[in-house]
Amino acid sequence: LIMGLASSFEMALASQLVWGIGYTFTSGAYDAWLVDEVGQEQSGNAFMRGSQVGRFAGLLGIVASTLLATVRLDLPLLAGGVLHLLHGLLLIVIMPEVGFTPTPKEARASWHTYFTTFASGLKLVRSRPALVNIVGVGFFFGLFSEAWDRLWQIHLMDNIGLPAVLPPQTWIGVLFALDALLGAAAIEALRRRLDTRSSRQMTISLFASTAIMVCALALFAMAGSLAVAVGAFFAFTIARGIVEPVFVTWTNQHIDRRVRATVLSLQSQVDAFGQIAGGPPLGAIGQRSLRLALIASAIALSPALALLARVWRRSTPNVNMRPAA
């Protein structure tokens, strides 16, 4: 809402500060809540289903925001802010917490308890090589992401060019809509084949999806035609959409329930630190060349493959993939 109402850079900057504070409260909490409610074995399927539902809901949002943006660019932001507020109020009423065990009241106000829980999360990460590697993967996901998230649309419009038959914002909306449909189909295909209880299968899926992201991002950066750029765009975004639910499910397999939210929040902070570390240098490269910035982004993501390969080598061979119920 603040961003939509912003009339100056300072006001827009303040909106991001408010957003960051709010996100800090929810980072890790949503995933931890879901795992506690449905159980570890069912969480993988729930995350994938949730990703699919999110894509279909996003499809409705894409259509609405594209139409609103043709009237005024601030209208999608204002509408999104109002919907977020209504969503929060609705969750207060209908959101169950059957699996959650509250901390005793006398311990909640203790800073010692807070620091002990945080220290337990750090200790757990350090004690498990797989978790150290996966937190490292999260860092590289953050490191590369700023260049893609901020520059792909400019690259597509300025360096590749979009047909003049429709306004640029309409073409972007069409791409997002097709990505939502194709991504939901890809996640469904994976859901039917992937045993989310198998750490090895999850690691292989993460490695393959990340490799596709690296290659597709580099291809998108170097594309000389619209067809190649669009193909690379879909390959990248679909693979990225697969990574998200698989990544959080894989991580939850290695976390004790007591410190789950803390570790997931720590992982989110590592991702944010990666964005802070990668954003300025990649942005500086983008000032000279958008193509070079996107290629550098692909290079920044590639170390994640080495970390995932290490986890893959250390994982125990498991049963072959089987259809999910």
- pLDDT, one tens digit per residue, over 24-61 is 677 666 777 777 777 766 777 777 788 888 888 888 88
- Mean predicted confidence (pLDDT) in 292-315: 90
Chain segment 92-135, per-residue pLDDT in tens: 888 777 766 665 565 555 556 556 656 666 677 777 777 788 78
Q: Is there a domain that residue 297 lies in? A: yes
Q: Using the predicted structure, report yes or no on whether residue 321 has a pLDDT greater than 50.
A: no
CATH of the domain at 247: 1.20.1250.20
pTM, two decimal places: 0.77
Structure tokens at 270: 């590592």
Residue with tokens 């006001």: 11
According to DSSP, residue 70 is labeled T
Q: Is there a domain that residue 258 lies in? A: yes
What's the number of CA atoms in the CB half-sphere (13 Å) around residue 86? Answer: 6
Residue 177: name the closest of 220, 227, 237, 243 by CA.
Answer: 237
Q: Is there a domain that residue 323 lies in? A: no
Q: Is there a domain that residue 321 lies in? A: no
- CA atoms 119, 35, 134, 235: torsion sign: negative
Q: Is there a domain that residue 138 lies in? A: yes
Residue 266 CA from chain centroid, whole number: 15
Q: Is there a domain that residue 123 lies in? A: yes
What is the C-alpha to C-alpha distance for residues 58 and 184, in angstroms, rounded to an integer? Answer: 11
Q: Is there a domain that residue 205 lies in? A: yes
> Is 133:307 a contact under the CB 8 Å cutoff?
yes
Q: Which domain holds residue 152?
A: 2-98+111-314
Residue 299 CA from chain centroid, whole number: 19
Backbone φ, ψ for residue 185 (5° rounding): -65, -40
What confidence score (pLDDT) does residue 294 get? 95
What confidence score (pLDDT) does residue 215 get? 97
What confidence score (pLDDT) does residue 65 get? 83
Chain segment 5-29, per-residue pLDDT in tens: 777 888 888 887 887 777 767 766 6
> Is 210:304 a contact under the CB 8 Å cutoff?
yes
- CA atoms 62, 276, 136, 26: torsion sign: negative
Q: Is there a domain that residue 324 lies in? A: no
Give, to the nearest 10 degrees, the angle between helix 226-252 and helix 29-38.
60
What is the C-alpha to C-alpha distance for residues 294 and 12, in angstroms, rounded to an integer? Answer: 26
What confidence score (pLDDT) does residue 144 get? 92
Number of domains in the chain: 1
For 93, other C-beta atoms within 10 Å of its C-beta total 6
